[in-house]
Amino acid sequence: MITQGLSRNRIILATAGTMLALLLAALDQTIVGTAIPRIVADLNGLDRLAWVTTAYLVTSTTMTPIAGKLGDLFGRKPFLLAGMVGFVAASALCGLSQDMTQLIVFRGVQGVFGGVLFATVFTVIGEEDVRMDLGELIGGLRSPGADPGRVGQLESDGGALTPRRFHSGAELGLSRGLEQQARS
């Protein structure tokens, strides 16, 4: 177990940190999912709307098993950190895109790091010796996926907080990095 020798407080902090990393990706997805029609309209690329989502899904799905195996070989922490940093950086690049081609490419890059992030988070949570009921663990893992659905719609609905871009990923990334520093 990766939590062997850690105090209960450190285990709770490690679990919370990994769940916050999952929240980072889930929140970004709900914001982008709600805001994508407006983003595509701003970039005049309605004919390539499907490519934005497809680029992310294909690269994320492809990278997930690769990241899992690499995490087995080289350890989870570097992949969790690289996944978060890369995901936030790719989110910023998406926000800076000037045309649809850039947006599609940057969403593909974001998908690579999203795949690393999802694979690593679920593996780390599964390896932690949290001594809790399986139902509690699954419920805890699902909550970061449910709550961003509400927040993401508020952030992108009408452009109240994110008029066009994906800045929420970059904002959340800073707090995730601090969480990981506390974990080490």
Q: What is the pLDDT of residues 13-70, one digit of tens each?
A: 877 888 888 888 787 777 777 888 888 888 888 899 899 989 999 999 999 999 999 9
- Residue of 120 and 133 predicted with greater confidence: 120
Per DSSP, 128 falls in state S
pLDDT band for 137, please (50, 70, 90 cuts): low
Q: What is the largest CA-CA distance in the chain?
A: 55
Taking domain 8-183, whether its CATH number is 1.20.1250.20 is answered by yes
Q: How many whole angstroms separate alpha carbon 8 and alpha carbon 136?
A: 17
Q: How many whole angstroms separate alpha carbon 109 and alpha carbon 36?
A: 17
Q: How many whole angstroms separate alpha carbon 163 and alpha carbon 160?
A: 6
